[in-house]
Amino acid sequence: MSESGLLVEVVSPDQLELSTTVDSIVIPASLGEMEVLPGHIPLLTMAKPGVLVVRRDGEDHHYAISAGFVEVLPDRVTVLVDAAEDEDEIDIERAKAALMRAEDRLASVETQDVEQRFAFESALERARARIAVWQHRQQHSDHDD
């Protein structure tokens, strides 16, 4: 078991989105944010749409992820998701449009239509995560200037 780093792999149906060794990772797990350090006990959990943060050499890198599955082992974390985007990949206008669409749909969905409500809430969370990652990128660039 390596205590020196954690191999993180984020995999979508399209491709291997990320494969890197990090100091720690913060995952938007279904039961709340979960920070994982090297040496963590093995576990399986669900990811919900949100912001995944990997920390390397004191720097944070943010990714918007959609729902998926997470396997934690002492020396590696594998995240299987429908979609993942890093800070440079986000199309902010698309994310804002998706947010507005999801808000409109949620406002008019029948209360008892649980499946539709869940789908619209998930779309809302994906859009919010993309906007949050994009905003972090903007703040970071401002800071660099």
Site residues, ligand ATP (CB under 6 A): 66, 82-83, 85, 89-91, 94-95, 98, 123, 126, 130
| Residue whose CB is less far from ligand ATP, 34 or 85 | 85
Closest CB 2 distance from ligand ATP, rounded Å: 31
Closest CB 45 distance from ligand ATP, rounded Å: 20
| Residue whose CB is less far from ligand ATP, 70 or 90 | 90
| Residue whose CB is less far from ligand ATP, 51 or 90 | 90
Closest CB 123 distance from ligand ATP, rounded Å: 5
Phi, psi at residue 67, to the nearest 5°?
Answer: -65, 155
| Residue whose CB is less far from ligand ATP, 27 or 95 | 95
> Could you tell me the CA-to-CA distances from 101 to 74, 116, 133, 135, 140 in Å, in that order?
41, 13, 19, 20, 28
Closest CB 92 distance from ligand ATP, rounded Å: 7
> Could you tell me the CA-to-CA distances from 103 to 17, 99, 125, 126 in Å, in that order?
28, 6, 10, 12
Closest CB 24 distance from ligand ATP, rounded Å: 24
E-assigned strands of 24-108? 24-29, 32-36, 43-47, 50-56, 59-65, 68-73, 76-81, 84-86
| Residue whose CB is less far from ligand ATP, 59 or 89 | 89
- Give the angle subtended at the CA of 14 by the CAs of 10 and 20, to the nearest 5°: 25
Phi, psi at residue 97, to the nearest 5°?
Answer: -65, -40
